[in-house]
Amino acid sequence: MLLALAHAVRTSGARKFLEEALARVDIRLDGGRPWDVQLHDERALRRIIIDGSLGLGESYVDGWWDCRELDGFFTRLLRSHMDERWRIRDWLDEFRSRLINRQKPSRVREVAHRHYDLDPGLYRAMLGEQRIYSCGYWRQAGTLEQAQYDKIDLVCRKLGLRPGMRVLDIGCGWGAAAHHAATMYGVEVVGITISHEQAVVARERCRDLPVEIIEQDYREMQGEYDRIFSIGMFEHVGHHNYRTYMKAVRRCLKDDGLFLLHTIGANRSSCSLDGWLDRYIFPNAVIPSAQWLTAAVEGEFVIEDWHGFGPDYDRTLMEWHRRLDESWSRLDRPYDEKTRRLWRYYLLSCAGSFRARKNQLWQMVLSPYGVAGGYDPVR
């Protein structure tokens, strides 16, 4: 494969090379179906061959190619594992990430500054007023609002929250889960986040409740809690720090407590993220594999329950895209077309990834010593 790539770059065979490769997964260059690629600039071909996923995303954002259904395009591409066949730049990123702790304390706030602290109007348009930026639970839901309510309530029920408990929310976002737990279950909540903008919103949302919002990294956590949960934050921890994270949670959890971890999961162990997502959306993020998770948990917790509902993220991402696309012209702050294409590519490529079952969504319930008599799974 590498020899074929090199030959395609050196010669004028880039188009033929990609046409043949895409044809194997039923995608055509300049075809007429919704998932086919419409090529606007021939430079995109060499850029994709040389830079892989990074070149694919950058050339799309630059307007060098289009596709009416990006989610369908990525579903076909990723289901075939074609993305794994030319990953020269990704291999270099993987090697670097194995050597360097990209999520060390001095770098941990980079993702907050570059992503989570962005225009609140954009997030409100995409996520809704609740601003819940994680996978919804669509088992009985017909709307995004209901799916997000059901997800947060599922977390509370899995943890068996009761009035008077003290609960820690690691990566509390804009405070929706802390608000729900305090309001519906009568618990006291401490929420931590590295995003200043999220902390401001969360404090305002929970100002009349027994909820404290603290701007800090998980490594700085203090106190003792009956229950701990983390929803959509573990993807920013990094494999160098998984054991540190689990030890920090265990240090703060009572011996008879429960911890719920809600995270995207990978089918294969990797120390780096897709190159385009890493550069433009979630810098320094890593999606944990089952192997990484079990190694991090070993000796610290008993795994009581492992619940997967990855396909629900496909539906969640498609709804986020629909809302943002429909609201784009009404956003408080004007954005250029490249920014719109960037967000479209991000949301729809991720939807295709979950539809192809390339990525998963896991909720794990963990206890320090095992629940006496066994844990009764909640769905």
CB 309 within 8 A of CB 135: yes
Residues 6+ apart with CB under 8 A from 5: 17, 49, 86, 88
- Give dist(CA 176, CA 169) in Å, integer: 11
Q: Report DSSP state, residue 163.
A: T
CB 199 within 8 A of CB 213: yes
- Give dist(CA 239, CA 245) in Å, integer: 10
Q: What is the torsion angle, in degrees rounded to the nearest 10, for the CA atoms of residue 81, residue 87, residue 92 and residue 97?
A: -20
φ and ψ at residue 304, rounded to 5 degrees: -90, -35
The order of strands in the sheet holding 225-231 is 211-215, 188-193, 166-170, 225-231, 253-266, 359-367, 302-308
List % helix, strand, coil for the chain (3-state, nearest 5). 50, 15, 35
Candidate list 206, 252, 271, 350, residue with the active-site label: 350
φ and ψ at residue 234, rounded to 5 degrees: -65, -20
Q: Is 350 an annotated catalytic residue?
A: yes
- Give dist(CA 95, CA 278) in Å, integer: 15
Return the SS3 of 214. strand
Active-site residue numbers? 350
